[in-house]
Structure 1
Amino acid sequence: MRAARRSRWSSGDTPSGPAGPSCACDEGCRDERARRTARSRHDLGIVEAIVSGPGEGEPLREKERTILVKAVQPQLDVLEFTITDAGYEGPGPHYHERHVDSFFVLEGELEFPAVGATVVAGPGTYVFAPPGTVHAFTNRTPARFLNIHAPETGFVEYMRAVDRGDAVDPADYDVHEVGDDEERADAIVSRPGVDLIERRYGTVEIRAETPQLSVMVMDIVRDWDGVAPHVHDDHLDSFYVLEGEIDFLLDGERRHGAAGTLVAFPPGVEHGVAPPTGTVRLLNVHAPDAGFAASLRR
């Protein structure tokens, strides 16, 4: 058996070690140091398991919204949006040629313009736009949601450039704008309870099954043995704790995951899940799908 790569923990986007010198823009300086460190480690080929706890992540801020970048990996990006005001002007109609853009609503309601109607997506709804699908969104209430892109094609770097006020061409980051009158296909809306698989410990709902990613919601309500340490050679495995708490197994130790925690395990990184002590709800994303969703139906 091939030896698994030993993971190194990455908590949020903050590098370990002594803090750098303080300055008037201390938070901004820390953010920039974190970005440089992350890019340097990526260039060196260091493979890490990401652990980003509640409220952690690289912050990108505008007046009406805050983004926490929870994970950036070749297989996917995960961003957590918090929008404080109703009627936020989200992006206009656009599409991506090389990746899936998707949204999992945590709190509040988002609106997605569709052909002949507007789709309202409340908590627990997952909306995804496959490559070439024109989509846009806004919100009708304050909202919090996950924005998942798979694979990574530069979207986070695009948002960093927007955050800095740089003049950039969105097409360089696989963001292609279109006019309101152009023909479009609707994004796909996946609401709770449609593709439900019963398990001894609870249920698994398959919310998306595309070549780029598969998305499942796991509701664990009875005794569950967890998942023994293992590796995936061909895809990234990730979990976002929606409700409850659970421990993840990394390097033979436990890392606690409260609600709002994201963990991501790149290909080759050994990981597992410890048996929970109570009920827990997890969002499980595999990128690419690599046949994982189909395996759940066997």
Structure 2
Amino acid sequence: MAETNRIAEIRNEATVTFSLAELDPEDPRWNKRGALYVPAGEGPTVWAVGDTYTIKATGDQTNGGFGFIEATVPPGGGTSPHAHGDEEETFYILDGELEFLDGDHIFTARTGDFIHVPRGTRHRFKNKSHHAARMIFMFTPPGAEKFIRDYSVPARPGEPAPPISEADAERAQEAIRRINMAVLPEPS
């Protein structure tokens, strides 16, 4: 009983109530700006592996918190199986559906689905439908989003991503050498 009363006392001590009228609106803590705002349709947009990626935030912009990308994956688009040695990757499907590989398991993710891939896990996504899929994904810690930006081709408005060229494949190989990522085979 005494322990229950002490917990209640601690909770009461930790609860601070104040009126907003008591706050000084000139206090710099309330006026400091620092939000990262990237309007819809803005951010560096590139073609990577035949998909269109818009980098909404890099680790430099999020104080090393995460990298954030918006993706449009056309029918037939997607990545090869791979694993990140340093980053975890998290996906949220905005529209459409994508086939995901998780280790040796394949499943279809649809609008509203969430997927988190721990580092060192073989994964990939493919659009096996007739319509483009849209998703957002993030890397924690950040870094891979910069490799995508730096080693991909800038997208041109109103055009689909071109087929992957030999130069694109060479740039991708160089990027893979620079980060701790392994390209892996499909499961048998």
Q: Normalised by the shorter chain, which TM-score bucket?
A: 0.5 to 0.7
Aligned mates of 1:54, 1:70 — CA distance in 2: 9
Match of 2:44 among 43, 58, 61: 58
| Partner in structure 2 of residue 108 of structure 1 | 96
| Partner in structure 2 of residue 225 of structure 1 | none
Question: Retained in 2: the 8 A contact 1:155–1:174?
Answer: no
Aligned residues: 138
Higher relative contact order at CA 8 Å, sep ≥6: structure 1 or structure 2? 2
| Partner in structure 2 of residue 212 of structure 1 | none
- Note the 1:6-155 alignment, pairs <5 A: 6-7=32-33, 48-61=34-47, 64-73=50-59, 74-83=64-73, 85-88=74-77, 90-114=78-102, 117-141=105-129, 142-152=132-142, 154-155=143-144
> What are the Cα deviations for residues 225-252 of structure 1, in whole angstroms up to 9, with x where unaligned?
xxxxxxxxxxxxxxxxxxxxxxxxxxxx
Question: Retained in 2: the 8 A contact 1:78–1:149?
Answer: yes
Q: 1:117 to 1:97 in 2, by over 3 A?
A: closer
Structure 2 gap segments, 5+ residues each: 1-27, 154-167
Aligned-residue offset at 1:132? 1.3
Q: 1:151 to 1:180 in 2, by over 3 A?
A: same
Aligned-residue offset at 1:169? 4.1
Aligned-residue offset at 1:118? 2.2
Aligned-residue offset at 1:113? 2.4
Aligned-residue offset at 1:56? 1.6
Aligned mates of 1:101, 1:49 — CA distance in 2: 23
Higher-strand-fraction structure: 1
Question: Retained in 1: the 8 A contact 2:139–2:145?
Answer: no
Q: What TM-score does the superposition give when structure 2 sets the normalisation length?
A: 0.64
Q: 1:106 to 1:132 in 2, by over 3 A?
A: same
Q: 1:168 to 1:116 in 2, by over 3 A?
A: closer
Amino acid at match of 2:71: F
Amino acid at match of 2:149: R
Aligned mates of 1:65, 1:114 — CA distance in 2: 20
Match of 2:179 among 173, 183, 199: 173
> What are the Cα deviations for residues 131-161 of structure 1, in whole angstroms up to 9, with x where unaligned?
1111111112310000111111x21221123
Matched, 1:157 2:146: yes
Larger Rg: 2
Aligned mates of 1:133, 1:62 — CA distance in 2: 21
Amino acid at match of 2:145: V
Question: Retained in 1: the 8 A contact 2:98–2:127?
Answer: yes
Q: 1:129 to 1:116 in 2, by over 3 A?
A: closer
